[in-house]
Structure formats: C-alpha cells, structure tokens
Amino acid sequence: MKQILLLGGSGSIGTQTIDVINKYSTRFNLAGISVGNRTEIVEELIKKSANLNYFCLKNEKDYLYFKAKYPNKHFYFGDNGLIQIIQECPCDMVVNALIGFVGFLPTIEALKLDKTLCLSNKESLVVGGEIVNKILREGKGKLYPIDSEHVAIAKCLYGKDKSDIDKILITASGGPFFFLDEKEFRNITPEDALKHPTWSMGQKITIDSSTMMNKCFEVIEAHYLFGVSGDKIEPIVDRKSHVHSMVRFKNGDTYLQVGPSDMRIPIYYALNESRPDDENGFNDVEKNTTNKYEFYPMNFEKFPLINYAWKCLEKGGNYGAALNAANEELVYAFLNHQIKYMTISSILDKIMKAFSFIENPSIEDLVKTDLEIRKLTKEFINSDAI
C-alpha cells in the first residue's frame, strides 16, 4: 500500500487525486493532506478514513480548531506547516497540487528528503527548474509530472531516445478567446475568462489558460522535465483538446497521445510512477495520425505572454521567479476586478524590463525575488487600478 501525502487537497487537482486514491484503495492510502481556506473537506475525510492522520491548514485559527477537536491527529499550519508535514508524515509519495509560488518550497523539501514527488505545481519548475533538477541529480528523489501535456509527452517518449526528438508539439486548447477579435480584448471580464472551452480547472490556471501564460509555463516545464532545448518545443492549438501533446522524431514519425479531458487519467499515471499498466497503457498513443485532427498554429501576436517562455529559458536565473510572481499578483487583481484583462500583459511587460536579474540565484534569492516582485506588481496595480 502506497502512503500518499497530498498538498493542495481541496483544489481541482487535489480532489481529483482523492478520487484516484479512492478508486484504487487497495493500492493507495491518503496518509496526510493540506488544505487552504476550504477546510470542510478535512471534517469529511476524518469521518471516512481512520488512516488519515496528518493535516496542514493554511490558517492558524483553523489549526487551533481542529487540533482541539482531534487531539490524536497531527496538525500543522501555514507555509512552515507545509514543510513540517512533509518532514513528519510517514509517506512514500508526495503529491504537490498547490497553486502558485506557495508550492515551490514544498517541492524543494520533498526532493531534498529523497521523496517521490508527483508534481502538478508547474510553478515550482518555472520558479526554480535549475535547482529542482540539481537536487534530483544529486539525490535519490524522483519527480513525476501530473500535467496532462507532460504525461502525454512522457508517453510519446516512452522507450525512445531523446536524441531522436525533432520537436515536442505541446497542444493548447487556445482558450476562450482564440477566435475573438483583438479589439474585443479590452472588454473581457473575469467571468468571460473563466469559461474554459474544454477543461474544468481552478480559477488561476483558467485565467492563465486564456492569456496563454499557462502554455508559457508548460513550455518551461517541458524543458526542465525532458531536458529538451526551447527551440525544440512548439505550441500548437487543438480546439477540442483531444490530443494532449505530440512528439515528432527525426525519422519523420509523430506520436500523439489522445484521450478525454479528464485529469484523473494523468494523475493516475503519475501515481503509478509514470509506468504504463493495464489501466493506463499505450492504447491512447497513436502514430502518424495527425491528419485525423484539426490543428491551428499558435497566434504569438494575439497572445504575447507565451513568448516569455523562450525569454525565460534563454535568461535563466531568477527570471522565472519574477515572471511567476508578477503574473500571480496580476491574475488575482484581474479576478478581483482591480485591473482590466489587457493590463495583465502591460504591467508584466514593465516589470520584466525593470526587475533586478540574478544569474545564479540560491533558493533564498528566489524567495526574495518573489517577495520583491509581488510588492512592485502591487504598486503598479494600485497606480493602474480601474
């Protein structure tokens, strides 16, 4: 029985991970969980599972409440609690389904402790992909991606030689505004941007999907996961999200992973340590069938944020940490109706030209960059507020 610690258990990926654990309950047990503001799930899970004993709450008041109510269980709280629960919860695997920068240090901690990590928090790799890979190289930790595109790429690459890759074609749905006239972009509301055409996800990633910042992050993620240079990674649009990504090889063959838009499929693959089995084999990998599907080229002018991916890979250092921090603040400001949709890219542009670049940042430098850029972004937001 694999003991699992799930970080971000109340979110979209978190709750679907619980579905997978429940479906394969003879193989997986939820040993620990972290939640943010949605604490109802803790009460429900305690009633259902006697084997779940470790909990991390975001807020101290929730921690005090649960600790008093369940004195025999282990409780932690806050950012430090996320680190402590990784250190103390007896588990074989950590699933990081946190959203944003808050997931970065837990990723680092899990890998430093040589844990097996299933990573949904792509921001960890955007912020500190170099450092994550260094810890993986030097230690015994393992990392398996959860993102559907990267599971698709991993499946297309299974048993193949990476030196034979011609292009990784990372698919995007194009989001709700792919065909919208650019002149209309100034009128986009959070409600419009939250209507994703094919996937049901948390709010932040849904906005990132509409601006293509999510695809930008996925290009960076693919680079660090598969060790492939940026010029070999190309986004391509499949409006129906049938094809989750493709790999074209130098001999001309193209492999495609095709399937329903259900995150439980890639989550299971990651929990199974990226190994195909009877439940999730290669039936969904097709060869040279691109003609069956309709693809569109990415529109880099209409969705300029995706271009930050290659800038980030070229610059390295703390560029990704700055990009992520500014984007997070801007997305939440847009969701809170503080700024307009178009302001996300205009402020981001100013920040990425002005921030202090560090070539070889330490983990502490990345934390500092995150804090400084958030402060700077908030100043821009306040001066640009609607």
Ligand X SMILES: NC(=O)c1ccc[n+]([C@@H]2O[C@H](COP(=O)([O-])OP(=O)(O)OC[C@H]3O[C@@H](n4cnc5c(N)ncnc54)[C@H](OP(=O)(O)O)[C@@H]3O)[C@@H](O)[C@H]2O)c1
Which position among 121, 173, 272, 327 is part of the footprint of ligand X (CB under 6 A)?
Answer: 121
Minimum distance of ligand X from residue 346's CB (angstroms): 23
Q: How many residues make contact with ligand X (CB under 6 A)?
A: 28
Using the rule CB under 6 A, is 173 a contact of ligand X?
Answer: no
Residue whose CB is nearest to ligand X in the complex, by number: 11
R_g of the chain computed on alpha carbons: 20
Which position among 4, 5, 14, 95 is part of the footprint of ligand X (CB under 6 A)?
Answer: 14
Q: What is the per-residue burial (b if ≥16 Cβ within 10 Å, else e) of 333-352?
A: bbbeebbbbebbbebbeebb
Which position among 70, 199, 293, 310 is part of the footprint of ligand X (CB under 6 A)?
Answer: 199
Judge whether 55 and 32 are in contact, CB under 8 Å: yes
Residues 128-167 that bind ligand X (CB under 6 A): 147
Q: How far is CA 301 from CA 61, 207, 305, 307, 344, in A?
A: 47, 18, 9, 9, 15
Using the rule CB under 6 A, is 327 a contact of ligand X?
Answer: no
3-state secondary structure the chain: CEEEEEECCCCHHHHHHHHHHHHCCCCEEEEEEECCCCCHHHHHHHHHCCCCCEEEECCHHHHHHHHHHCCCCEEEEHHHHHHHHHHHCCCCEEEECCCCHHHHHHHHHHHHCCCEEEECCCHHHHHHHHHHHHHHHHCCCEEEECCHHHHHHHHHHCCCCHHHEEEEEEEECCCCCCCCCHHHHHHCCHHHHCCCCCCCCCHHHHHHHHHCHHHHHHHHHHHHHHCCCHHHEEEEECCCCCEEEEEEECCCCEEEEECCCCCHHHHHHHHCCCCCCCCCCCCCEEECCHHHCCCEECCCCCCHHHHHHHHHHHHCCCHHHHHHHHHHHHHHHHHCCCCCHHHHHHHHHHHHHHCCCCCCCCHHHHHHHHHHHHHHHHHHHHHHCC
Minimum distance of ligand X from residue 12's CB (angstroms): 4
Using the rule CB under 6 A, is 222 a contact of ligand X?
Answer: no
Cβ nearer to ligand X, comparing 169 with 263? 263
Using the rule CB under 6 A, is 189 a contact of ligand X?
Answer: no
Minimum distance of ligand X from residue 7's CB (angstroms): 7
Judge whether 377 and 325 are in contact, CB under 8 Å: yes
Using the rule CB under 6 A, is 211 a contact of ligand X?
Answer: no
Minimum distance of ligand X from residue 103's CB (angstroms): 6
Cβ nearer to ligand X, comparing 12 with 241? 12
Which position among 36, 128, 141, 174 is part of the footprint of ligand X (CB under 6 A)?
Answer: 36
Which position among 20, 52, 77, 122 is part of the footprint of ligand X (CB under 6 A)?
Answer: 122
Q: For ligand X, which stretch binds (CB under 6 A), given 119-127, 267-275, 302-310, 363-371?
A: 119-127
Using the rule CB under 6 A, is 32 a contact of ligand X?
Answer: no
Cβ nearer to ligand X, comparing 9 with 32? 9
Cβ nearer to ligand X, comparing 155 with 248? 155
Q: For ligand X, which stretch binds (CB under 6 A), given 94-102, 232-240, 268-276, 340-348?
A: 94-102
Minimum distance of ligand X from residue 149's CB (angstroms): 8
Using the rule CB under 6 A, is 38 a contact of ligand X?
Answer: yes
Cβ nearer to ligand X, comparing 150 with 248? 150
Q: How far is CA 279 from the centre of its chain?
A: 24
Using the rule CB under 6 A, is 99 a contact of ligand X?
Answer: yes
Q: For ligand X, which stretch binds (CB under 6 A), given 22-30, 31-39, 328-336, 353-361?
A: 31-39
Q: For ligand X, which stretch binds (CB under 6 A), given 85-93, 114-122, 162-170, 233-241?
A: 114-122
Q: For ligand X, which stretch binds (CB under 6 A), given 10-18, 43-51, 269-277, 305-313?
A: 10-18
Q: How far is CA 63 from CA 8, 48, 66, 126, in A?
A: 16, 20, 5, 30
Q: For ligand X, which stretch binds (CB under 6 A), given 93-101, 162-170, 245-253, 341-349?
A: 93-101
- In the complex, which residues of this chain contact ligand X (CB under 6 A)? 8-14, 34-38, 58, 97-99, 102, 120-123, 147, 199, 201-202, 204-205, 263
